[in-house]
Structure 1
Amino acid sequence: MKEISCKLLVIGAGPGGYVCAIRAGQLGVDTVIVEFGKPGGTCLNVGCIPSKALIHAAEEFEKIANMAGGKGPLGIAVARPTLDLSKTVAWKDGIVSRLNSGVVGLLKKAKVKTVQGWATFRDGKTVEVETETGSQVIRAEAVVIASGSVPVELPFLPFGGPVISSTDALALSEVPNKLAVVGGGYIGLELGMAFAKMGAKVTVVEALPRVLAQYDAELTRPVVKRLGELGIEVMLGAKAKGVSTKGDALLVETADGKNAKVAADKSLVTVGRKPLTEGWGLEQIDLDMAGKFIRIDEQCRTSMRGIFAIGDVTGEPMLAHRAMAQGEMVAEIVAGHKRSWDKRAIPAICFTDPELVTAGLSPDEAKALAGEIKIGHFPFAANGRAMTKQGEDGFVRIVARADNHLVLGIQAVGQGVSELAAAFGLALEMGARLEDIAGTIHAHPTQGEGFQEAALKALGHALHV
């Protein structure tokens, strides 16, 4: 059995793990990273990146389909388009492959040793990795657990056959004629809307009273409107119970307690994700848990000396950019730098149509924390760039303290607003006040002007609405 020693061992090469390893390598830390699958983790391989590729392809197809017969307002006429999903998936796979290679190259550049296989803890300093060529023991002074998360599987809707996960949905070779989506959260609606644009008849089954329940109703209203325009049926207060014997329908209990069947070639289950804590031998090291997640402090240290945990395995928000920031911080701590988690906000994006962006506190959260607040709301219907993109449906909203105008939260819904996330996050991180945003010149014509206008509105003197 082979044995190697290092200063830092990173378990998992997802966004958090590979960033941690790269930064540690840059700082001269002798680092080993272990990954069972491909580098990049869920986000790069079967999550963030491939889903956005599919969403983009769906958007392009819908645009062209809407131009068939010259019916659109732009004066563009084309023949009715067709879609070869297998080619779309191949294009998506090509992007993923290039990014995989990029991560591998960055790890090599940072002089990080990569071990392919499944790691299991022997004790707090030692893991055994099952590789293709046999077992390898790795001893490390410090260990970072970055094992990520996996889709939640419902016992009455096990994955297989007509029941698919988001991973399976991104690998389909043809568009289902009828698609049932179990779960009206961001993953379900992102993929459901994409497949609807590609021609599928989509039905969303959501147990709660509304979709995208983690966002406030005002913010999600344009998305709900768009669901109707795409012909997506939404069943609220409904519970999936299983699939029919023939596998051609989803069995549902409706809000009024009746049983119903939703015809479906495929049933996509998107009811959330859970941390991957099983199979790593964590029982050998007895870490403190916070529910189903590994408990960490402000430096991502676990209850056991020398063991850190980052990313989805440590709790919400389960976002790749949170994991990356944690990984970079931990690498510097291991290298002897003084760091701790002091982030003011972690922007979150929902890539539905239209897109949603949130950073910081919602109006209700801000009111509960600060008492009296000011809210600035600017509609894209008054924004020239949004109008030229046919993206008038949406708005930017700023929430600030009423006494000193400190900005507490920023939200937006609209076409392409995901690109405003950086500005929102920076404003909150820098402790901006309404006057700072209102006094910053925003380029014209851009949707970013809505950010400035929202601040002006909160101050009582909006210029364009």
Structure 2
Amino acid sequence: MSEFDTEVLVVGGGPAGYVAAIRAAQYDLDVTLVEENTLGGTCLNRGCIPSKALISAANVAHDARNWSQMGITADVDVDFGRMVEWKDDVVENMNRSVEKLCKANRVSLLEGRAAFEDEHSVQIDGPNGESERLTFEHAVLATGSRPIELPGFEFDRPGVLDAKEALALEERPDSLVVVGAGYIGMELSMLFAKLGVDVTVVEALDTMMPAFPSDLVAPVSSAASELGIETNYGELASACQSTEGGVTVATEDVDSEERREYDADKVLVAVGRSPVTDTVALDRIGLEPDGDGFVPTDEHGRTDLDHVFAVGDVAGEPMLAHAGSAEGEIAAAAIAGRGPSAEDRAIPAVAFTSPEIATVGLSREEAEATDHDVSVGEFPMRASGRALTTGHTDGFVRLVSGDDGVVLGGQIVGPEASELISEVTLAVEEGLTTAELAESIHPHPTLSEAISEAAANEHDLAIHTLNR
């Protein structure tokens, strides 16, 4: 019998943690997963899934109102409360599924907050005030992240929302100020605008969604304007005052310090997230976050302690659910003595805006900064028969390849970009060439044909767009 209570302790049940736990159990390890709140973490309960559920619902309402060119007119009534109830049902069903999967894979589940006592034990404080000590051979930290608070915009103030609270509103606000024009801020801005909310965005930088190339963001910026979203760049949110009717948000121009004020029912703060490291007593085991607050790891997720791993948001960028899940699998494999490292993994990034944006691998500029002779192939969505049949033709597919024709990266803006990027991700991961993508037969009419056409365009052989 082992000298430890469990072989693998996983702290945190989000997409990084529960995946690590299930994979470790599939490797016949004895696994205990400790989660303070609800399985699924921020992604399933307060982020990815609820936001995409409401985005899908808002898209249905918006499209129904704007399909007159297809001969469809409709007087759409949005029952926001019922929409939120439906979203909650989706989340609850997925939450139950995660719990069933953990149990079916023989993962022991404990509810509570775990904090290290020493290098091989934790104290778990349960929801009813009880506590217990648990010893472990290996530990995986998957404590995730939390939204960043701005001074004067604390989330416990009336009318101030983080993304979680915005997605849990029982009534639709008439007006909303969004602080931050990153991908979360713009996803939610467009969601609420499509539901008839008057949305104003304030952003300290001079651009929208700076994590993505500007030409990918341009169609999103145009769509935001068409939705009536007012976007104000170069303005730093400086103060928030609760009023009888809602809130007043004060901003300062970053160059002139000119002050402006915006009145709204609510203000949503979406300026990023920070890793959660203050709950597990890292100092007791000699671990210390880096300057950005992340727990440093190697390519296997291993920290400075060989038997302690960190995965997901707490381990650093990219702070994406699917990246965390992959890291969880890698850490579990390392603990079990098998599997690959995280080196050279192609990780896509997606914004569920209108239109969607998706990228993977190197951009044109990043590839040109290497020793490669770069080739680029593009295909506009307006030339896609399938895009035309959906009424959504903004955007394009771009493939970036090196002098050997191997796909180094891809960028997509347009309908279903979040789905299309997987083919490009596979190409980058497996070292496929644009010639191989161009020769692969895609079903017609589909949006995926845009990928093979972009690949062919790189060789001046595209059929449905002019070659450059």
Does structure 2 conserve the Cα–Cα contact (< 8 Å) formed by 1:22 and 1:110? yes
Counterpart of 2:277 in structure 1: which amino acid?
Answer: T
Does structure 2 conserve the Cα–Cα contact (< 8 Å) formed by 1:84 and 1:174? no
1:391-423 CA distance string (max 9 Å, x none): 11110001111x211211101000121111211
Residues 1:126 and 2:127 are matched in the alignment = no
Distance 1:111 1:269 in 2: 40
Shift of 1:16: 0.8
Counterpart of 2:212 in structure 1: which amino acid?
Answer: Y
Residues 1:117 and 2:112 are matched in the alignment = yes
Distance 1:102 1:186 in 2: 28
Distance 1:156 1:268 in 2: 13
Counterpart in 1 of 2:146? 150
Counterpart in 1 of 2:197? 200
Counterpart in 2 of 1:271? 271
Distance 1:6 1:195 in 2: 46
Does structure 1 conserve the Cα–Cα contact (< 8 Å) formed by 2:159 and 2:265? yes
Counterpart of 2:452 in structure 1: which amino acid?
Answer: Q
Distance 1:203 1:82 in 2: 23
Counterpart in 2 of 1:349? 350
User: Which of 92, 97, 102 lines up with 1:97 in the alignment?
Assistant: 92
Counterpart in 2 of 1:284? 284
Does structure 2 conserve the Cα–Cα contact (< 8 Å) formed by 1:288 and 1:303? no
Distance 1:375 1:239 in 2: 37
Equivalent residues in 2 for 1:22-421, closer than 5 Å: 22-66=22-66, 72-78=68-74, 80-133=75-128, 134-159=130-155, 160-246=157-243, 247-254=246-253, 256-291=256-291, 292-401=293-402, 403-421=403-421
1:11-68 CA distance string (max 9 Å, x none): 001001101111111121011000001000000000100000010111111122335x
Q: Tell me the SS of whatever aligns to 1:435.
A: helix
Distance 2:340 2:398 in 1: 33
Distance 1:358 1:335 in 2: 32
Does structure 1 conserve the Cα–Cα contact (< 8 Å) formed by 2:64 and 2:72? no
1:224-267 CA distance string (max 9 Å, x none): 11011000000011111111352532111135431111121111
Q: Tell me the SS of whatever aligns to 1:172.
A: coil
Distance 1:155 1:417 in 2: 36
Distance 1:182 1:343 in 2: 35
Distance 2:263 2:412 in 1: 35
Does structure 2 conserve the Cα–Cα contact (< 8 Å) formed by 1:4 and 1:137? no
Counterpart of 2:252 in structure 1: which amino acid?
Answer: E
Distance 1:242 1:61 in 2: 34
Distance 2:137 2:375 in 1: 50
Identity %: 44
Distance 1:331 1:364 in 2: 35
Shift of 1:371: 4.3
Distance 1:285 1:155 in 2: 32
Q: Which moved more, 1:311-320 or 1:81-90?
A: 81-90
Shift of 1:343: 3.6
Counterpart of 1:100 in structure 2: which amino acid?
Answer: N
1:311-341 CA distance string (max 9 Å, x none): 0001100011111111112112212224322
- Matched residue count: 457
Q: Which runs of 5+ in 1 are unaligned?
A: none
Counterpart of 2:160 in structure 1: which amino acid?
Answer: V
TM-score normalised by the chain length of structure 2: 0.95
- Distance change >3 Å, CA 245–CA 344, structure 1 → 2: closer
1:259-301 CA distance string (max 9 Å, x none): 1111211110000000001121111112143321000001110
Q: Which moved more, 1:252-261 or 1:153-162?
A: 252-261
1:195-228 CA distance string (max 9 Å, x none): 0000001011111111011111111110011011
Counterpart in 1 of 2:440? 440
Does structure 1 conserve the Cα–Cα contact (< 8 Å) formed by 2:66 and 2:73? no
Distance 2:365 2:225 in 1: 27
Does structure 2 conserve the Cα–Cα contact (< 8 Å) formed by 1:344 and 1:360? no
Q: Tell me the SS of whatever aligns to 1:376.
A: strand
Counterpart of 1:326 in structure 2: which amino acid?
Answer: E
Distance 1:371 1:388 in 2: 38
Counterpart of 1:137 in structure 2: which amino acid?
Answer: R
Q: Which portions of structure 1, spanning 4 or more consecutive aligned residues, are displaced by more than 4 angstroms?
A: none
Shift of 1:156: 2.0
Distance 1:383 1:270 in 2: 34
Q: Tell me the SS of whatever aligns to 1:142.
A: strand
1:48-96 CA distance string (max 9 Å, x none): 00000010111111122335xxxx1111232x22212111111111111
Shift of 1:4: 7.4
1:137-193 CA distance string (max 9 Å, x none): 110000000000000011221113111000000000111111000000000000000
Shift of 1:348: 0.7
Distance 1:287 1:123 in 2: 11
TM-score normalised by the chain length of structure 1: 0.96
Distance 1:343 1:131 in 2: 40
Counterpart of 1:194 in structure 2: which amino acid?
Answer: L
